[in-house]
Amino acid sequence: MVRTSLDPTVAWDRYRSEFPIFQSKTYFNTCSLGALSTRVTAAVRQFTDLWEANGAAAWYGPWLGEIERLRARVASLLGASADEIALFPSITAALSAVASAFDGVRRPKIVLSDLEFPTTVYQWRAKESRGITVEMVRSPDTLSVPPERYAHAVDDRTQLLVASHVYFTSGVIQDITALAHIAHDRGAYCLIDAYQATGQLPTDVHAAGVDFLVTGGLKWLLGGPGVAYLYVRREVAQSLQPTAVGWFAHRNQFAFDIQHFEYADGARRFEGGTPAVAAIYAGRAGADLVAEIGLSQIRRRQVELVSLIVDEARRRGLHPRVPRRVEDLAGIVTIPRADPAGVVKALAQRNIIVDFRPGIVRLSPYFYNTPEECERIVAGIAQLETEGLA
Ligand SMILES: Cc1ncc(COP(=O)(O)O)c(C=O)c1O
**pLDDT single digits (tens) 268-306:** 999 999 999 999 999 999 999 999 999 999 999 999 999
Long-range pairs for 319-327 at CB < 8 Å and ≥24 separation? 321/142, 321/143, 321/170, 321/360, 322/143, 323/143, 323/144, 323/170, 323/172, 327/303
Q: Of the residues 31, 92, 119, 166, which should be mutated to test ligand 1's pocket, given the most ligand atoms within 8 Å of the CB?
A: 119
For 304-319, the pLDDT digits (tens) are 999 999 999 999 999 9
Identify which of 92, 195, 332 to mutate to test ligand 1's pocket (most ligand atoms within 8 A of the CB): 195
Identify whether residues 155 and 277 lie together within a single domain. Answer: yes
Q: What is the pLDDT of residue 385?
A: 80
SS3 354: coil
Distance CA 153, CA 135 (A): 7
Whether residue 140 is found in the same domain as residue 212: yes
Q: pLDDT tier at 389 (50, 70, 90 boundaries)?
A: low
Tell me, yes or no, whether 332 and 351 share the same domain.
Answer: yes
**278 and 316 housed in the same domain:** no
Query: What is the structure's pLDDT at 1?
Result: 42
Residues 232 and 259 in one domain: yes
Q: What is the CA radius of gyration of the chain?
A: 21
CATH number at residue 165: 3.40.640.10
- Note whether 166 and 311 are same-domain residues: no
Structural domain boundaries, residue 264: 44-291
User: What is the domain count for the chain?
Assistant: 2
| pLDDT per residue as tens digits for the range 81-131 | 999 999 999 999 999 999 999 999 999 999 999 999 999 999 999 999 999
Q: End of a domain among 276, 291, 306?
A: 291
Do 243 and 271 share a domain, yes or no?
yes
Mean pLDDT of 361-365: 97
Shared domain check, 331 and 364? yes
Which of 291, 314, 337 represents a domain boundary (last residue)? 291
Q: With the C-alpha atoms ordered 293, 271, 89, 334, is the resulting torsion angle positive or negative?
A: negative
User: Are 92 and 174 within one domain?
Assistant: yes
For residue 2, pLDDT beyond 60: no
Sign of CA dihedral 154, 156, 157, 162: positive
In this structure, the residue with its CA closest to atom 6 of ligand 1 is 91
d(CA 65, CA 50) in angstroms, rounded, equals 13
Same domain, 100 and 207: yes
> Which residues line the pocket of ligand 1, CB cutoff 6 A?
90-92, 117, 119-120, 164, 168, 193, 195-196, 216, 228
Q: Is the pTM of this model over 0.85?
A: yes
> 215 C-alpha vs ligand 1 centroid, how far in Å?
8
Output the domain CATH number for residue 338: 3.90.1150.10
| Distance between Cα 337 and ligand 1 center (Å) | 24
| 2 domain residue, yes or no | no
Say if CB 343 and CB 361 are below 8 A apart: yes
Q: From the CA of 196, give the closest atom in ligand 1.
A: 1
Q: Do 230 and 326 sit in the same domain of this protein?
A: no
Enclosing H/E stretch for 333: strand 333-336
Q: Which of 30, 87, 90, 91 has the most ligand 1 atoms within 8 A of CB, as the residue to mutate? A: 91
Contact 212, 230 (CB under 8 A): yes
pLDDT at position 61, please? 86
Ligand 1: centre distance to CA 34 (Å): 13
Average pLDDT taken over every residue of the chain = 95
388 pLDDT band (50/70/90 cuts)?
confident
| 6 lies in some domain | no
- Average pLDDT on 184-190 reads 98
pLDDT at 5 over 60: no
Neighbour count for residue 351 (Cβ, 10 Å): 10
Given 266, 291, 316, which residue is the final one in a domain?
291
- Which pLDDT tens digit goes with each residue over 225-274? 999 999 999 999 999 999 999 999 999 999 999 999 999 999 999 999 99
- Nearest alpha-carbon partner for 318 in 386, 268, 368, 262: 386
Spatial separation of the C-alpha atoms in residues 30 and 55, rounded to whole Å = 35
pLDDT at 390: 66
